Amino acid sequence: LTAWQHLDYTIKSGKSSFGYVFGKSFFDYINDHPTKLNNYHKAMYEYARDDYKQLPELVDFGKHESIMDVGGGYGAAISVIKNKYPHTNCILFDLEKVVAGAADTVEKIQGNFFESIPNGSDALILSRILHDWNNDCALQILQNCNNALPKEGSLYIIENCHENTTADLSLLSLNMALMCESFERSETEYIELCQNAGFSFDSSKQLNQLQTILIFKKQ
């Protein structure tokens, strides 16, 4: 609410009013407050469990030897995949403070996706990650994903895409600008970002009323 009270700052500058008010980015702020961090990831996990329940039915993740959920929070997406494909090596990758609070249903690796992403998986998932970041930051994450994957490795991106939903995403996009200096993108914009990071677009599938699964291959 405090960030919204400074909406004019974001409109005039294009920068996050949250950062303007609190002196640091939204994610740096919650990472410095353990209770807020835990509440945030618990909330994300609870709605994501329902959002992702059809994910392993729509995509054959069983063809992969190892799948890593990059920035996967408390592991909602990777857990439903593990339940469907128990013989697939499923890994949750996030900050140390985050994976410490996740359930031990999958392997957990701590790290920062802006620094590097571990090698060894032939598929990576970015679920509702890129919409938190501006184009420069999103491209850095994607380039690190590209570096981590083998040739022909798969990248699965789950995001809201303007042209694939009847919902009006404008207010949500404005909230992303206020909080994170980012925005909700179109499928075309996500494809362009991924191509700039060395991926080729394979296909897309509708996950639910809001979210689209975008599938890419490392070139």
Q: Alpha carbon 116 to chain centroid distance? A: 15
CA atoms within 13 A on the CB side of 45: 18
Q: What is the mean pLDDT of each run of 10 residues along the chain (219 residues)?
A: 96 96 96 95 90 94 97 96 96 96 92 97 97 97 98 97 93 96 96 98 96 96
Nearest to 47 by CA among 211, 215, 213: 211
Question: What pLDDT sits at residue 49?
Answer: 85
pTM, entire model? 0.95
Q: Is 90 exposed, middle or buried (0-12, 13-18, 19+ CB in 10 A)?
A: buried
Helix (H, G, I), strand (E, B) or coil at 96: helix
Find out whether 106 and 75 touch, Cβ atoms under 8 Å: yes
Helix (H, G, I), strand (E, B) or coil at 170: helix
Question: What pLDDT sits at residue 103?
Answer: 84
Tokens in use for 172? 């949500």
Q: Determine which one of 6, 41, 131, 162 is catalytic.
A: 131
Question: What pLDDT sits at residue 15?
Answer: 96
Q: Is 162 a catalytic residue?
A: no
State residue 132 phi and psi, 5-degree precision: -80, -5
